[in-house]
Copies of this chain bind each other. A is one copy, B any other.
Amino acid sequence: MSKNKINLVFPDGSKKEFDAGITGTTITQGISEGLLRKAVGIKLNNTLFDLNAPLSESGDFKILTFEDEEGKTIFRHSSAHLMAQALVRVFPEAKLTIGPVVSEGFYYDVDHPPFKPEDLIKIEEEMKKIVKEDIEIKRKEISTKEALKLFSGNDYKQEIIKNIEEFGEGKTEKSDTVSLYTQGEFFDLCRGPHLPRTGMIKAFKLLKVAGAYWRGDSKNKQLQRVYGISFPDKKELTSYLTLIEEAEKRDHRKLGKALDLFQFHEYSPGSPFFFPKGAAMYNELLTFVRSEYKKRGYDEVITPLIYDKALWEISGHWEHYKEDMFLLNVDGREFSLKPMNCPSHLLMYKTKTKSYRDLPWRVADFAPLHRNELKGVLGGLTRVRKFSQDDAHIFCTEDQMQDEIFAMLDFVDYVYTKVFEMTYKISIGTKPEKAMGSDALWEKAEHALISSLDSKKIPFKISKGDGAFYGPKIDIRITDALNREWQCATIQLDFQMPLRFDATYEGQDGSKHTPLMIHRAILGSLERFLGILVEHFAGRFPLWLSPIQVKLLTISERHEVFADSVYEKLSNQNIRVEKDYRSESINKKVRDAQLEQANYIVVIGDKEQESESVNVRTRSGSILGAKKTEQFIAELLEEIKNKRIS
């Protein structure tokens, strides 16, 4: 291979030689004009480049489009620049700060008085013009000195540039150059890459504006954070906006209140109050998990909630997690509310000498945990300060590790695929920056997880640096009815904590060994999972979980005695049944029961009373007709037992 040639390996494995300095654009053009219209950037050896950047290296080569995660990021990042350009055209006094991509869309934080809804429309109109102008987007490297001059009058950008100079912020080392992207009159500091032209951003919408502090610090000035979403075509935008609307309808905070499941109160921010109906669902989830524990050999324990700082020093939480814990003073010493159960279980493990015969020990705990989430980020059940997990720790020998991991993956699969009928994706989180323990142990643990999944041919991806501070993990992301992903289950290997606690067992060889500890949760935070279920089912829960399984309606007062007898029969079988004996019309009573999402609505009038039967319809209006009470109960019990999702 000549010095001026590069060899590129395409995703399909094909190889091709090019002149060094060739651009992605030229290569793409060589493939098809259609692809060129869709191409947003280049990935070469895991580094992203502008489509127009000259390429000088051989290696794995990919043309990115919006379909790729990285392509989406480039597209949205350019959308943020597009919005910024339009915003400054409309509001020239606004000062730009930073404008990153987020999981759903992008935002830009600007220093400006609060925007009104009509301001966003003006910005959108201007964005449309810029798209029409189809301006070329160009990159250049300039010295930090030049950059400081260019951004004089914008203190935020000045701070960013100085940080790059001193700390190489966003770069691998400190630097005296920065990259600048320009499109027409607009220029911005940016690492890139970006789209080649503004004309590619065919569909976008500014969604909302919210207050945000510079650098996320409430001591700094409050900025305006303008959120947007963008797509390469209008259809995608429309279906996204429909989804958002549906998600808003399903918002568990709204439904939670409407269905009387839970609420929050300013006197305990981030700690939910579960009303009887929510508590019934919560306890039903607990009962379900407990029944699985029984089958799968888990032991439940009940543990204290407050612990001496000395414990957290051993576990490493004092060093790595202190700011996330609520501290209190006990007997003149520093204590904290526990944020995790692991150290409790290590203390319990150590109360008795253990031998290999005692392992694996699978210890489960539903203790309420507290984590000091910032007040500003609290929201509904998905981000709380107080929650319980279906948490367990498995102490085992290294020999047992793989079987334990298989058993947990089976547990996960049973719960999500069989019971909740959801799909899920698996990723492995590797060593994070803030980590405990030697590289050798980390490699061993990461290898163990990867080979477990490989050996069962379970697909997964690697999330670099996403492990816990004590070890690598398998994260399971479920997909809900609106195609949103939620991280719930987790399986975390830990060779560190048992060492720190000096936990041991006597092996078959008669000498002492350190057990492996596996942290794992299936539903994760029960609070959060309940919130997800509310949105997934849009409040129309499967019978076994439903807070009102049957609503009993009487046609007139003279049917109450028979209705009471039906109520007793249902209630004695632990069926959650409610009465509606109001003197309202039966149509109104049916409608109200439907709004409450009662799974079965039973009407009792003369005919039913005479034939000792019940007249049943579903919440969605299907008429199931007359049934003998016993038959109805038997059917309910069967549906509950099978956890059927109707």
- CB within 8 Å of B: which residues of A? 263, 265-269, 271-276, 278-280, 282-283, 294, 299-308, 310-311, 326-331, 335, 337, 344, 347-348, 351, 363, 368, 370, 372, 375, 386, 571, 574
Across the two chains, which residue of chain B brings its CB closest to A295? B571
Tell whether A368 pairs with B278 under 8 Å between CB atoms, given A326-B330, A328-B326. Answer: no
Q: Is the CB of A279 within 8 A of B308?
A: no
6 CB contacts below 8 A, A to B, read A267-B311, A268-B335, A278-B302, A279-B300, A305-B368, A306-B326
Q: Which residues of B contact A274 (CB under 8 A)?
A: 301-303
Q: Which among B272, B275, B335 is the interface contact of A304 at CB below 8 angstroms?
A: B272
Kindly state the separation between the CA atoms of A574 and B269 in the bound complex, as whole angstroms.
Answer: 39
Q: Which residues of B contact A326 (CB under 8 A)?
A: 306, 328-330
- Secondary structure at the A interface, as helix, strand, loop or mixed, is mixed
Kindly state the separation between the CA atoms of A268 and B337 in the bound complex, as whole angstroms.
Answer: 11
Kindly state the separation between the CA atoms of A310 and B266 in the bound complex, as whole angstroms.
Answer: 10
Given contacts A265-B347, A271-B303, A306-B326, 8 further A-B contacts (CB under 8 A): A268-B307, A273-B304, A273-B348, A274-B302, A306-B370, A326-B328, A327-B328, A337-B337
Q: Is the CB of B331 within 8 A of A302?
A: no
Q: Is the CB of A273 within 8 A of B303?
A: yes
Q: Which among B280, B302, B329 is the interface contact of A273 at CB below 8 angstroms?
A: B302
Q: Which residues of B contact A278 (CB under 8 A)?
A: 302
Q: Nearest-CB distance from A384 to chain B (Å)?
A: 10
Q: Is the CB of B305 within 8 A of A271?
A: yes
As for how many copies of this chain the complex holds, the number is: 2
Q: Which residues of B contact A273 (CB under 8 A)?
A: 301-304, 344, 347-348, 351
Q: Is the CB of A386 within 8 A of B305?
A: yes
Kindly state the separation between the CA atoms of A571 and B295 in the bound complex, as whole angstroms.
Answer: 9
Tell whether A275 pairs with B348 under 8 Å between CB atoms, given A328-B337, A330-B326. Answer: yes
Q: Which residues of B contact A279 (CB under 8 A)?
A: 299-302
Q: Which residues of B contact A299 (CB under 8 A)?
A: 276, 279
Kindly state the separation between the CA atoms of A335 and B265 in the bound complex, as whole angstroms.
Answer: 14
Report the 9 A-B pairs with minimum CB-CB distance, sorted nearest first.
Answer: A271-B304, A276-B299, A268-B304, A274-B302, A328-B328, A267-B311, A267-B308, A279-B302, A279-B300
Kindly state the separation between the CA atoms of A337 and B329 in the bound complex, as whole angstroms.
Answer: 12
Kindly state the separation between the CA atoms of A328 and B271 in the bound complex, as whole angstroms.
Answer: 15
Kindly state the separation between the CA atoms of A268 and B348 in the bound complex, as whole angstroms.
Answer: 12
Q: Which residues of B contact A276 (CB under 8 A)?
A: 299-301, 363
Tell whether A300 pairs with B328 under 8 Å between CB atoms, given A271-B306, A351-B263, A571-B294. Answer: no
Q: Nearest-CB distance from A278 to chain B (Å)?
A: 7
Q: Nearest-CB distance from A391 to chain B (Å)?
A: 14
Across the two chains, which residue of chain B brings its CB closest to A310? B267
Q: Which residues of B contact A300 (CB under 8 A)?
A: 276, 279-280, 283
Kindly state the separation between the CA atoms of A272 and B268 in the bound complex, as whole angstroms.
Answer: 26
Q: Which residues of B contact A269 (CB under 8 A)?
A: 330-331
Q: Nearest-CB distance from A328 to chain B (Å)?
A: 4
Across the two chains, which residue of chain B brings its CB closest to A309? B267
Q: Which residues of B contact A267 (CB under 8 A)?
A: 307-308, 310-311, 347
Q: Nearest-CB distance from A510 to chain B (Å)?
A: 18
- Chain B CB within 10 A, most for which of A275, A304, A337, A347: A304
Q: Which residues of B contact A303 (CB under 8 A)?
A: 271, 273-274
Q: Which residues of B contact A571 (CB under 8 A)?
A: 294
Kindly state the separation between the CA atoms of A267 and B308 in the bound complex, as whole angstroms.
Answer: 5
Q: Which residues of B contact A329 (CB under 8 A)?
A: 326-327
Q: Is the CB of B302 within 8 A of A268?
A: no
Q: Which residues of B contact A327 (CB under 8 A)?
A: 328-329
Q: Is the CB of A308 within 8 A of B386?
A: no
Across the two chains, which residue of chain B brings its CB closest to A363? B276
Q: Which among B268, B305, B307, B370 is the interface contact of A370 at CB below 8 angstroms?
A: B305
- Chain B CB within 10 A, most for which of A276, A308, A348, A372: A276
Kindly state the separation between the CA atoms of A543 and B347 in the bound complex, as whole angstroms.
Answer: 30
Q: Which residues of B contact A347 (CB under 8 A)?
A: 265, 267, 273
Q: Nearest-CB distance from A174 to chain B (Å)?
A: 35
Q: Nearest-CB distance from A268 to chain B (Å)?
A: 4
Kindly state the separation between the CA atoms of A305 and B385 in the bound complex, as whole angstroms.
Answer: 10
Q: Which residues of B contact A311 (CB under 8 A)?
A: 267-268
Across the two chains, which residue of chain B brings its CB closest to A260? B352
Kindly state the separation between the CA atoms of A638 and B302 in the bound complex, as whole angstroms.
Answer: 29
Q: Is the CB of A266 within 8 A of B301?
A: no
Kindly state the separation between the CA atoms of A330 and B267 in the bound complex, as whole angstroms.
Answer: 11
Across the two chains, which residue of chain B brings its CB closest to A274? B302
Q: Which residues of B contact A305 (CB under 8 A)?
A: 271, 305, 368, 370, 386
Q: Which residues of B contact A310 (CB under 8 A)?
A: 267
Across the two chains, which residue of chain B brings its CB closest to A328? B328
- Chain B CB within 10 A, most for which of A326, A330, A571: A330
Q: Which residues of B contact A294 (CB under 8 A)?
A: 571, 574
Q: Nearest-CB distance from A281 to chain B (Å)?
A: 10
Across the two chains, which residue of chain B brings its CB closest to A271? B304
Kindly state the separation between the CA atoms of A33 and B372 in the bound complex, as whole angstroms.
Answer: 74
Kindly state the separation between the CA atoms of A372 and B326 in the bound complex, as whole angstroms.
Answer: 17
Kindly state the separation between the CA atoms of A304 and B337 in the bound complex, as whole angstroms.
Answer: 13
Kindly state the separation between the CA atoms of A283 and B364 in the bound complex, as whole angstroms.
Answer: 13
Tell whether A308 pairs with B271 under 8 Å between CB atoms, given A279-B302, A327-B329. Answer: no
Q: Nearest-CB distance from A265 to chain B (Å)?
A: 5
Across the two chains, which residue of chain B brings its CB closest to A298? B276
Kindly state the separation between the CA atoms of A549 and B371 in the bound complex, as whole angstroms.
Answer: 39
Q: Is the CB of A331 within 8 A of B268?
A: no
Kindly state the separation between the CA atoms of A268 and B301 in the bound complex, as whole angstroms.
Answer: 16
Q: Which residues of B contact A328 (CB under 8 A)?
A: 326-328, 337
Across the two chains, which residue of chain B brings its CB closest to A368? B305
Q: Nearest-CB distance from A332 to chain B (Å)?
A: 10
Q: Which residues of B contact A304 (CB under 8 A)?
A: 265, 268, 271-273, 386
Kindly state the separation between the CA atoms of A378 and B283 in the bound complex, as whole angstroms.
Answer: 32
Q: Which residues of B contact A307 (CB under 8 A)?
A: 267-268
